[in-house]
Structure formats: C-alpha cells, structure tokens
Structure 1
C-alpha cells in the first residue's frame, strides 16, 4: 500500500488543488454540491454506491458504501464545507511553497477528503475486500455551522456500528484527538424603543441597557475549574449616540466537559433571558447545547490502541490529545460508538489566510487510515 500511495502523491495533490480552488463555504450550496459531485464521481469509479440526501439551504449530504458491503462496522465522517465565503478561492488559490500547500480549506478538511479516498484506493489495490466493504462514509455539508441538518443523520448512521473514524485534521505535531468538549451556541436579541436622547429620552427603552444586564449575568455562569465556559463573544447595538438604542443582539458560546453540565447550563441561560430588567424590553433567545462531549471511554481507548499499533507498523508514533473544539465526533460518541478524531493529514492555521497542509502527510495519513481500517476489519 505504501508503494501504491507514494506513486499516487502527485495525483492526490492534483485532486486537492481541484477541491481547494472551488469555494465551498457552508452557506454556498452551489459550491458545496460541486465538491460533492467531484467526489461522487471518484467513488462511483471504485464501485461504491453514493446516496444523496437532498438539502435546500445547505449542500447535499452524501452516504457512501461499497456496492457489495453488507453490514459495515466502521462509520467514517468527513465534511464538504469550509468557513470561507464565495470568492475566497479566486483571491487565494491553491499554492505550494516548499513542503506545504496553502489555500482555503486545504487542511479543514479538503486534505482529509483526499486521504480518505486514497486510503480506500490503496485497500482496493491490494485486494483487501473485507476492509473496504466494512466502511460506511458520510460526507456532510454543514459541519462548520453546527451540523444542524446532519446531526440526526450521523447518529442514526452510527447506531449499530462498532467504530467511528472522524477525519478532522491531525494536530500540527501529528497528534490525533481522543476526547473533545461539548458545547452550544445561542443568540440573544433584545427589542427596545428608539427615542431622541436629548429631547425625549423618557420615551425610549434602551436595548443596550437591557442586554448589558444579561451579558454580566451570562458571564457569571463561568465555572472554569469545573469545565463550564460561557462567553459572550459578539455584541451588536446602536445607531447613533443621541438615539436611545431600539435593538441589540449578543452571540454566546458555551463549552462543557460533562453531558449533565449541558442540561444545567441551558436551564440557567434560559432563566436569565426569560425576564427583562428594563421595563418594556422584549427578549428573544435562540440556540441550544448542540454537541455533547466526546468522551475517552474504554471503547475509545481500545480503538486508540489499534491506531497506535497501526502507526508503529509504519514507523509513526501516534499521540493523542484532548481539545476544547467541537466536531461531529461528539454525535457518534453520544450514541456509544468508540470514536477517534483527528485522523486527517497534518497541517495548521485552519480557518485563516495562512491555512496549510504538510504535503508528505497526505501519503502518511492515507496509509495510516488504510492500515487502521484493515486492522479493525480483521
């Protein structure tokens, strides 16, 4: 498999360039679906069946399995979307500098889309039918915006599976992810009443004053030592200094270490936002805890051991880390499937102008993934 993948490195780079140079931001359905069509074609050439789950607001989700697969025990998750808006690829197209490639979404996670495809090609090349018949792949289109249309699909696909392999990129040092914090997002909107601040301030209802009360109370929910973090990260309000502000909005990020913390913190947020401090102000709260923690339980440890053994066989020492970031790994973990994340290639600076992938890791991580699939299928 190593020889095969090494012979295909330029081919992998060519496919990566095609994917990176197509915009596929979460809200740009046309671009996401274009990425999906490229990959659908590639999988169909390998005799994989691609089922499309049509969406209206975001890109379509793709369910992929070999035409002879019966009851695959491994679910593999990749996402088609990026965080970048339409036009980004034209302004900052795929480039190679030294041993790194750069471009929007190159590591999160278009590189993973390439390594997954070629890991399966390598298994097919050496005749490992038992392995490539044992995977059920989901390419979803909305991971970067919370997987709001695909989370139930992920959980339903995961039921009955033994292992979940999630293709978020490896850490810059090559580590994979064995646990993640859970969390959620909320939007608080406050409606007041405009009035001239000099002529008739008594006629106004300040949305800024009201939302200020709420921000202080929300920030007081933080329990850093216990693993609960609440952050009001964005606040928008006001049109002019001489106008009593009629509208304000705040966006809230929540992170938790334990599933039960999510229930309690959700209750507290809703309690705070249920009643106005400023008479006449109207409050509207949207959002929820949408990802439970990905837990490093006994099943995950056993899966990690298999991955580390596969790494040793190809000369790679695999370390694991915990991270505060969210991913779709939380959904498979929630339904009790042993889950490991960060199995994509190595890179860094995701979501930024300097996003990059380490080119040698395309072959390395495709080989690792193929070995893992093979070992899990024996």
Structure 2
C-alpha cells in the first residue's frame, strides 16, 4: 500500500492543471486495474477527468478525489518519504492515502468474498474537489442517488476522529459601482464605492449567528485605481459556513437583499450556495455501525468530530444519502508543508472500510435502508 501511495504522490495533480489531473487519472486507472482486475471508466467533464468503477447496481458509494492543492514542482521541495512510520509528500494526507486505502479495501472484500462480494459498490474518484467540485458535483449526486451509504475517504480529524458533521459553504462577491472623480479637485462629484462597500461590510457582518454556528466572513477586498481618485468600483468576497440548511437559505436571501445606502451607487451580488451542510443526522447511523465493527474486529476506539471544512460528502448528505466522512488517512497538516500521515493507522482504517462495505452491500439492514 505504501508503494502504491508513493506512486500516486509522485504523480503531481494540482486541481487547476487539467493535463496533470489527466495524467494522474491514467496512473490511478492502471493501479485500480492491477489491484481489482477491472479498469475504471474515465468520465471527462469540462476538461477535468474523473474515474468511476461500478460493480452491479450501486448500494454504497466509496468517494475519493485525486487532485491536490500543490502546484507542479512541489515534489522537488517536499519529496515522498516514509521515515519511522511518518509519511510525507504533497497530497499524502489530503487525500492520496485515502484513495489508496479505498482501492485496497475493495481488494480485501474481493479476496474474502470473490467478485460477488463487490456487487453494489461504486468507486468514484473525482479530479476537482479542492476547487469546489464544479465539474463533478452533478456526477457525485447522480452516482450516490439511492445508495444506502456514502463512505468518504477524506483524511480523518485530529487523533483519527471520523467526521460526522461538516458545515455547508456559500461564497459571494459583492460589487459596488460608484463614480470616479478627482480626489483633490472635485471629490463631491464622485460616488465613493469604498464608502458604500464599508456600509455593506458592516451589514454583512450582522448576518452571522454564533448560536447556530453560522459564520459570515468578509475576506478579500479590492477598491480604487489610484491614490488621488475617488474609487468608482469596489468588491468584497464573503465566506459563509453553516451547520444547518435553513441557515444557508436565510443568509442567501439576506445577501441577495442587500441595497445600497447611497442611492447614487449600484450594488450587485454574485455567487451563492456551493455545498449544503452535512448534518449530523446523516452520519450517526453509519458511525454507530463503524463503532460496532471496530469493537468486533479489535480496531480500537473510534471518535467523532464536527468540522468547519467541507468535502464531497456534503453533496451526498445533501441529497439524503447516509454519509460517513474522515475514513482516510490519519495524520495532519492538510494544505501545509507539515502535511503527513501515520503508517501504523493504514491497516486498521483499511480494514474498517472493507467491513463497512461488506455490511452495506450484503446485510439485510442495508437492503431495507435502500
């Protein structure tokens, strides 16, 4: 498994580089064919390559991605390594080890029960998760529809915690159009977009609700052209995170209802809801099942955590599919130079996923849930 991981890490796959993602998809397709005896289908959408391997009519979707945040050339600075069980390399934690574990968990099921044991599994490997899944969202939702469960091999939380709740994400850009004028000669003839945007930022900030876990954060700001000109244009980006869908809809309605304080200025709001929240109710049943398996198989105690970051599991949970996330690598440092994974946790996590797949595909309860 570690040799397979090294192979994938050494094939750099930054999300924005579709050529690199295509090369990575081909390497992964080779690996899947070697380990499972079947080659996945390549699904290209909007120039981005995703992989899909179905075994019969899907009852469980195993969800992974192969793109990373790291640009080409990072390997020269942070090469793959495994020293004393500490794995390093760009994308090892988020989430190429999770992908390797997904492939090998299916290989375990295949070895134990033959090809019929995989009947009902759908392995999906997307190529644009890190940039919001613009090309893969419809594919994910379509492939997950009607499944008894979605197992997401994203990296685990601190200490190996499984992720049973993720906040939904919305992103907006608020743009103000004013009127330029000379800041020294006749500023009164201008319509200052920066002042108007300041009023809007204060209004936007009030949309947050700490009691429900809703955060509304103005982020990237841009205004003006030169020091001595009344700025005619200004923009602010806004990041929204919510625990429950009703809050996402509330904030969305409020953002679209913003009106300029200065009637001479015009205001436009673009963007919207990107990922629905993965609410706790969608995960608790699968987490309970995972706990029972871990106890039965001697895989150690499992813990659960709610996180603010989103994943493709938000999409499966958003269409009503029970979803358990964080089943991948145990380690830390996602998106940072300190990214790492713990080799000792690879076998037990792979065994856990294999057992979950077997139960979801074969148990009477899984059929009843479907």
TM over 0.5: yes
Aligned mates of 1:349, 1:89 — CA distance in 2: 16
2:176 equivalent to 1:190: yes
Q: CA deviation at 1:219?
A: 0.4
Aligned mates of 1:172, 1:226 — CA distance in 2: 23
Aligned mates of 2:279, 2:155 — CA distance in 1: 19
Q: CA deviation at 1:216?
A: 0.7
Aligned mates of 1:87, 1:237 — CA distance in 2: 34
Q: CA deviation at 1:64?
A: 1.2
Q: CA deviation at 1:85?
A: 2.8
2:314 equivalent to 1:333: no
Q: Out of 201-210 and 116-125, give the one that drifted further.
A: 201-210
Equivalent pair of 1:131/1:373 in contact (CA under 8 Å): no
SS of the residue aligned with 1:255?
strand
Equivalent pair of 2:8/2:28 in contact (CA under 8 Å): no
SS of the residue aligned with 2:95?
helix
Q: CA deviation at 1:72?
A: 2.6
Equivalent pair of 2:67/2:128 in contact (CA under 8 Å): yes
Q: Per-residue displacement from partner, 1:225-245 (whole Å, max 9, x unpaired)?
A: 122211112212344432222
Q: CA deviation at 1:100?
A: 1.2
Partner of 2:292: 309
Aligned mates of 2:288, 2:116 — CA distance in 1: 21
Partner of 2:165: 179
Partner of 1:15: 4
2:327 equivalent to 1:343: yes
Q: CA deviation at 1:280?
A: 4.0
Partner of 1:5: none
Aligned mates of 1:19, 1:194 — CA distance in 2: 52
Aligned mates of 2:171, 2:165 — CA distance in 1: 20
Q: Per-residue displacement from partner, 1:332-363 (whole Å, max 9, x unpaired)?
A: 11222111000002011101111111122222
SS of the residue aligned with 1:288?
strand
Partner of 1:319: 303
Q: CA deviation at 1:218?
A: 0.3
Partner of 2:42: 52
SS of the residue aligned with 1:248?
strand
Partner of 1:369: 353
Equivalent pair of 2:171/2:274 in contact (CA under 8 Å): yes
Equivalent pair of 1:348/1:357 in contact (CA under 8 Å): yes
Aligned mates of 2:32, 2:144 — CA distance in 1: 21
Q: CA deviation at 1:140?
A: 1.2
2:100 equivalent to 1:118: no
TM-score, length of structure 2 as denominator length: 0.91
SS of the residue aligned with 2:159?
coil
Equivalent pair of 1:21/1:90 in contact (CA under 8 Å): no
Aligned mates of 2:67, 2:269 — CA distance in 1: 27
Q: CA deviation at 1:143?
A: 1.4
Partner of 1:160: 146
1:38 to 12, 27, 35: 27
Q: CA deviation at 1:179?
A: 1.6
Aligned mates of 2:171, 2:181 — CA distance in 1: 32
Aligned mates of 1:88, 1:245 — CA distance in 2: 39
Q: Per-residue displacement from partner, 1:187-246 (whole Å, max 9, x unpaired)?
A: 223333433322332343322222111111100111111222111122123444322223
Q: CA deviation at 1:50?
A: 1.8
Aligned mates of 1:316, 1:63 — CA distance in 2: 32
* Runs of 5+ unmatched residues, structure 1: 1-11
Aligned mates of 1:154, 1:143 — CA distance in 2: 11
1:292 to 276, 283, 293: 276
